[in-house]
Homo-oligomer: A and B are copies of this chain.
């Protein structure tokens, strides 16, 4: 088997390995309200999974001058809740399973450094290989991060599987023929995930042990 046909796994972090989506929703809700934008929480939930550069214009319906202040306020309010973060069901066992079976994998997250550190801390695994999103031009649902992760692993996109919880993960994967498996533990419905390009939907990482 050549290096390029080796299968590999890309793992989203927020909502997929760590139960963090509802905290993100309230953190964005508070940050937006403080800045004078009242956005319904269910709409914020639908936007989680996009990069923070994209979610703000998507939620407020256009360009905003204070996007980076908003993003900072969200980060601060999210990190205040870091003690409530827990791994999703089966997340740690899935990582052990991939290690044991020698399946190459990378964490593919748009989260910034501080948020990523808090998530990995909640997961109890600060040793995980993580795709570098610093040189990525465009965040999910753009596929740039997935392509960069595939390149780092030395796999062709069509041999990679992304596990993610949001419609934006599925959409990013579809654009570059990465297979997307969606987990429901980020709170999205099965139909929504399938309609955005997920090949299959499971409850949480526990259902994927031994199957990736």
Binding site for B on A (CB under 8 A): 19, 21-23, 25-26, 29-30, 33, 38, 40-42, 45, 81, 84, 86, 88-89, 184-192, 204
Copies of this chain per assembly: 2
Extra pairs beyond A19-B42, A22-B22, A40-B204 (12, CB < 8 Å): A19-B40, A19-B41, A21-B41, A21-B42, A26-B81, A26-B84, A40-B88, A40-B185, A42-B185, A42-B186, A45-B187, A189-B191
Nearest CB to that of A193 among chain B residues? B189
Q: Hey, which chain B residues are within 8 Å of A88, CB to CB? A: 40
Contact call A84/B29, Cβ cutoff below 8 A: yes
Q: How far is the CA of A185 from the CA of B33 in the complex (A)?
A: 17
Chain B residues with CB under 8 Å of A192's CB are 189
